[in-house]
Chain A
Amino acid sequence: MKDSISRLAILVRREMWESPVAFKWTPVILFGFILLSSLLALIIGMRIDGDLVFTRDGLRMFAELDPDQRRLFASGALFSISALFHQVMYLVLIFYLAGSLYDDRRDRSILFWKSLPVSDTMTVASKVLAACILAPLLYLAGIVITQITLLLIATVIGLFADINVFSALWVPANLPKQWTLMLYGSLVQGLWLLPIYAWLVFCSSWAPRLPILIAVLVPLMIGMLQHFWSFFSNFKLPEVNLLLIMLDRIGKGVTPASIEWEQIVTSEGANIRPSEELFMNFSSVTRHLFSMEMWIGVAIGLALLTGAVWFRRRATDN
């Protein structure tokens, strides 16, 4: 058991060595992009707003806001940054997974990997774990560094504005809660997207070429056929459409903590002011985790992964 875990760990590390752009450089580039655009905004701001008078005034006004409002804005602004990281991550993972069991067949290095005493199940598991655990952890590290850097910039301006940066910025940002929630949320999200990930890995395990195209075209064709069939036979749109189910699954899974739309609807009706609970809500993630839809997806995902292992066992260099 312990042996299997340490073997899995080195296999997952192997994934990072093979795809440094997907796992390492993309978060670094995102950090650089956000930092540069913030600094650029400040520099342009200084041109228009000499000595940042208005910016400092704005911060002062912000510091005098209602604590609830401060929490909503401070954590909301920082949380929205994480959304960018996560959206890019899921996009990168689609390409990573589609190539995961294909690239070594193409360049024949599969002959080396298969000469190691590693089971095909273990190989497939390492690809899925890299997507479900390694990527969220590395992108979370990117988020943490970006958020701290941005808060530090705001702190410097805040010090010039003579506000209590601690109570005005750091406390309402509520970083520990954000990070825990993101960690929890992105792990749950990995499980939620397992059927999509597994589909990509499955296509990657047998596609003779262009696995990404096959992975997209197959559901697209099936979805369109279902559409036409249903439309021409019954004059109505299909009730069950594979493509829409898959898109729905991805659409619900863009950020780690899904926004509580219900809360907004009720808050409008009851005139309750929205709080940061809108997007930082452990119980909504937990509810998501224990939903029926989640576990049906996980079952489909495991079935597809079993198929991927079956194909992997038969795969050689040609």
Chain B
Amino acid sequence: MTATIHARDLARRYGSTVALDHVDLDVPAGRIVGLIGPNGAGKTTALKAILGLTRFDGTLEVLGLDPSKDRDDLMQDVCFIADVAVLPRWARVWQIIELTEKLHPRFDRAICMKYLARTKIKHKSKIRALSKGMIVQLHLALVMAIDAKLLVLDEPTLGLDILFRKQFYSNLLNEYFDEQRTILITTHQVEEVEHILTDLIFIKDGKLILNDTMDDIYERYTEVMVKPGDVDEARSMNPLHERVLFGRHIFLFERADVSRLDELGEIHKPSVSDLFVALMGDRAADAEAHADIEGVRA
């Protein structure tokens, strides 16, 4: 079976800025992959390469096609919602539906109507008259009505309120996702997606810092809230990261002896945002924070 996304040595520079630094990536079908990284890390460039919206060096195959050459064929099986509402503002809702139906062979009008019926969107409204949340709802209704193999979401819920965001992901997970489909999400609101992800990728300065399944990640990384007396012992075990919460020291360990950690304190799964800070945080800023802690203790 061909991988949904297969990239080798994928690279892209803008002038002297390296957006993608020789990335290798394989995403099989049936995954929900979170692509997480700070601003300017290369997330959007990676997505654009996958969608055939930018040139790149190296090899990239999406569903067996080269996106830079076969974008129009590829889009039969790929859907995309971008970080800003990109539906044309001059159009009316019924025109957008009509266009998608006539141009997309895998679009099912009945499904689209079913989702739209749950919203307050009127068919005669112009897109420019809709709120940002309604435009995203409309776009999601269009996309969920397309029987695609890969769905790419680039900050889909940016600027939406929490009710919309929750509903967005629950629709996606409960009514859209299945084993044949792959969803690739970039977002800053990591907490909202971490429970739905099957795979996690961290990207920084165009390089993949982490690329693993969530199961492997939870096996590999352990977070311990250490008892006050055991802080020094925990430090001696070479933790990846240390932070202080309400006076308790929390350490993150990679591939540590779980039975030993158990003696030091309370063990739990690290959250994606804690992992992000530990793996991607500025080392200098970390060291400084550490020095501060020492200062307080002294």
B33-62 vs A, CB cutoff 8 Å, 1 = contact: the mask equals: 000000000000000100111110000000
Tell me which residues across on chain A come within 8 A of B78, comparing CB atoms: 115
A115's contact among B75, B95, B102, by CB below 8 Å, is which?
B75
- Mask, B247-276, CB within 8 Å of A = 1, is 000000000000000000000000000000
Q: List, in ascending order, chain B residues with CB within 8 A of A17's CB.
A: 90-92, 95
How many Å lie between the Cα of A108 and that of B98 in the bound state?
20
**B48 proximity list for chain A (CB < 8 A):** 316
CA distance A109 to B85 in the complex (A): 8
Chain A nearest CB from B98 CB (Å) reads 7
Contacts of A317 in B (CB 8 A): 82, 86
Q: Is the CB of A108 within 8 A of B86?
A: yes
Contact B88 A117 (CB under 8 A): no
Write the chain B residue with the least CB distance to A17. B95
> Which 8 A-B pairs have CB atoms at the shortest separation, nearest pair first?
A109-B88, A117-B75, A119-B72, A10-B102, A111-B86, A115-B80, A117-B76, A112-B86
The yes or no answer to B103 lying at the interface (CB within 8 A) is yes
Contacts of A6 in B (CB 8 A): 102
Contact between chains at B82 and A108 (CB < 8 Å): yes
A287 at the interface (CB under 8 A from B): no
Q: Is A236 among interface residues, defined by CB-CB distance under 8 A?
A: no
B105 close to chain A: CB less than 8 A = yes
Whether a CB of chain A sits under 8 angstroms from the CB of B3 is no
A153 within 8 A of B: no
Nearest Cβ on chain B to A6's Cβ, whole angstroms: 7
What A residues does B72 contact at CB under 8 A?
Answer: 117-120, 122
Contact across chains for B91 and A18 when beta carbons are under 8 A apart: yes
Contact with B along A98-129 (1 / 0, CB 8 A): 00000010011111111111111010000000
A-B contact pairs, 15 of them (CB 8 A): A10-B102, A17-B91, A18-B88, A18-B91, A107-B88, A109-B88, A111-B86, A112-B139, A115-B51, A115-B79, A116-B103, A116-B104, A119-B72, A120-B71, A316-B54
B104 close to A117 (CB less than 8 A): yes
- Bound: A122/B100 CA distance, A: 15
A contact residues vs B (CB 8 Å cutoff): 6-7, 10-11, 14, 17-18, 104, 107-120, 122, 313-314, 316-317
B89 at the interface (CB under 8 A from A): yes
Q: Contact: A316 with B53, CB < 8 Å? A: yes
Instruction: Note all chain A residues with C-beta closer than 8 A to B79.
Output: 115
Chain A residues with CB below 8 A from B54, complex form: 314, 316
Q: B residues touching A (Cβ–Cβ < 8 Å)?
A: 48, 51-55, 71-76, 78-80, 82, 84, 86-92, 95, 98-100, 102-105, 139
| B89 and A107 within 8 A (CB) | yes
Of B80, B95, B104, which contacts A111 at CB under 8 A? B80
- Among A115, A117, A118, A314, which residue has its beta carbon within 8 angstroms of that of B55? A314
Q: Which of B53, B75, B87, B102 contacts A7 (CB 8 A)?
A: B102
Chain B residues near A115 (CB, 8 Å)?
51, 75, 78-80
Q: Which of B53, B55, B89, B98 has the largest number of chain A CB atoms within 10 A?
A: B53
Contacts of A120 in B (CB 8 A): 71-72
Q: Given the complex, which residues of B lie within 8 Å of A112, measured CB to CB?
A: 86-88, 139
B53/A18 in contact, CB under 8 A: no
By a CB distance below 8 angstroms, the chain B residues around A14 are: 95, 99
Which residues of A sit under 8 angstroms from B52, Cβ to Cβ?
Answer: 114
Q: How far is the CA of A113 from the CA of B75 in the complex (A)?
A: 10
Nearest chain B residue, comparing its CB with the CB of A10:
B102
Provide the bound-state CA to CA distance between A199 and B51, in Å. Answer: 29
User: Given the complex of chains A and B, what is the CA–CA distance between A104 and B72 in angstroms?
Assistant: 18
- Given A116-B100, A120-B71, A314-B54, list of 5 further CB < 8 A pairs? A17-B90, A113-B88, A114-B53, A115-B79, A117-B105
Max chain B Cβ within 10 angstroms of own Cβ: one of A7, A17, A122: A17
Our pick among A11, A114, A314 for the contact of B51 (Cβ within 8 Å) is A114
Least distance between B148 CB and chain A CB atoms (Å): 10
Contacts of A10 in B (CB 8 A): 98-99, 102-103
A-side contacts of B71, CB under 8 Å: 114, 119-120, 313
Closest to A111 in B: B86
**Smallest distance from the beta carbon of A261 to chain B beta carbons, Å?**
43
Question: Does B103 contact A109, Cβ atoms closer than 8 Å?
Answer: no
Q: How far is the CA of A228 from the CA of B192 in the complex (A)?
A: 66
User: Whole-angstrom distance between the alpha carbons of A3 and B102 in the complex?
Assistant: 10
> Do the beta carbons of A109 and B99 come within 8 Å of each other?
no
Most A-side CB within 10 Å, residue of B72, B74, B84, B105: B72
Contacts of B53 in A (CB 8 A): 111, 114, 316
Q: In whole angstroms, what is the CA distance A157 to B260 when docked?
A: 107
A104 / chain B contacts, CB cutoff of 8 Å: 88
User: Could you tell me if A109 and B89 are in contact, using CB atoms closer than 8 angstroms?
Assistant: yes
For A122, the chain B residues whose CB sits under 8 A away are 72
Closest B residue to A11 using CB positions: B103
Q: Is B86 touching A109 in the complex (CB atoms < 8 A)? A: yes
A317 CA to B48 CA in the complex, in Å? 10
> How far is B84's CA from A114's CA once the two chains are assembled, in angstroms?
15
Q: What is the CA–CA distance of A189 and B105 in the complex, to the nearest angstrom?
A: 36
A314 to B92 alpha-carbon distance, docked (Å):
28
